[in-house]
Amino acid sequence: MRHRHPVRQCWLAVAEIAPELAWLDRDALLADEATLRELFGLLVLAHYQTRPLDLRMLLDGPEVRVLVMRCAGRVVATLLVATEGDMHDPALRAAIFRGERRPRGHLLPQTLSAHAGLRDAPSLRYARVVRLVVHPALTRRGLARRLLVELERTARADGIDLLGASFGATVELLQIWQACGFAPAQMGTRRNAASGEQAVVVLRALSDAGAQLLRHAQQRLAFALPVWLAGPLRTLDPQLAALLIAAVPPDAPVDLPHDWRDEFAAFVAGYRTLAASLPLLAAVTRQQLGAAWRAGRIELDAAALLVAVIVQQQPLTDLAPRYGAAGREALLARVRSLCGELGAVSRVSSTGA
């Protein structure tokens, strides 16, 4: 009698019956070597660089939960999710916004606050998809979507505001997540050492508060993209850039965000990087530089430095000798100081003085 191959048998089970979904108890899972072996094998199939220690690390966090899909008794798909956010201490949220604190296990709220400029993002509750894996022989059959539907059902019952994920952005991956109802909310300006791609954050709102934060995040992304695509993201795959542009709301503002002063002050104080702050700095420079120079509040050489760094995006290392600076960091400190003066000018002009 011929025996069916296990994967083939699972394929038939997918085609004929509904797969079984189950949330696994983390502590019980750590003691279940057979299931751990299946999970690890699935993760290795999905990513060749996965090591045994990786699974242990993924399961180490107290807020990590595991959802598995079984067919014919075998694990054929899994979703690992971490609960993040729900931080209501104003001092902690301020420190995260300034980049002084990076609480372990809170990737989404930390990224949205420190990099996207959404100061109150850590107060919301997130369910971050850490891993979403389907056996290669069973892809394109809607199994990942079934896992995400179950995650959404559970998350809504638990009072989660947003589902989300962060991954190395490619056209294929972004399209998959968009097809599942997730929207891009933040884009990294540097390539990740592991994936070689810029990281993108995608979100799906489950509550009114979550919908409002997602809307603000997309408005920020729309505000930033024109500057980033001409500078730090100039080598981004044009198809990926087109997907990002098409994903932002058509009514996103092109002017300064209403809460821009906190982010601007964070750059001046040295908490935020130049790349992350470029869109805001460019908008403030366009609005305030001409009036400040004509009024004699800023010297022409200083105005030229701001234009070279912020508008033309010339490398700081190339500009340092021209402006008599000891190096990149010294020149960056001067730029921060000049932006502080420009910000002071904008506060005077906004009050009508």
Show me where the domains of the chain are located. 6-247, 260-350
- Statement: residue 296 has pLDDT above 60: yes
Summarize the chain as % helix, strand, coil (round to 5): 55, 15, 30
pLDDT band at 353 (very low <50, low <70, confident <90, very high): very low
**Which segment of 62-66, 112-116, 153-157 scores lowest on mean pLDDT?**
62-66
Report d(CA 110, CA 113) in Å as an integer: 5
Ranges assigned E (strand) in 144-216: 162-168, 183-191, 198-205
pLDDT at 345: 47
For the stretch 47-80, pLDDT in tens is: 645 666 666 666 676 688 999 998 888 888 999 9
For the stretch 183-234, pLDDT in tens is: 999 999 888 766 678 899 999 999 999 999 999 999 889 888 888 988 889 8
Cβ-defined contacts of 141-150 (< 8 Å, 24+): 141/14, 143/14, 143/19, 143/69, 143/76, 143/77, 144/77, 144/176, 144/180, 145/180, 146/19, 146/21, 146/69, 147/21, 147/67, 147/69, 147/77, 147/78, 147/79, 148/79, 148/180, 150/21, 150/67, 150/79
pLDDT at 85: 96
Statement: 6-247 belongs to CATH 3.40.630.30: yes
Mean pLDDT of all residues belonging to the chain? 84
Its pTM surpasses 0.75: yes
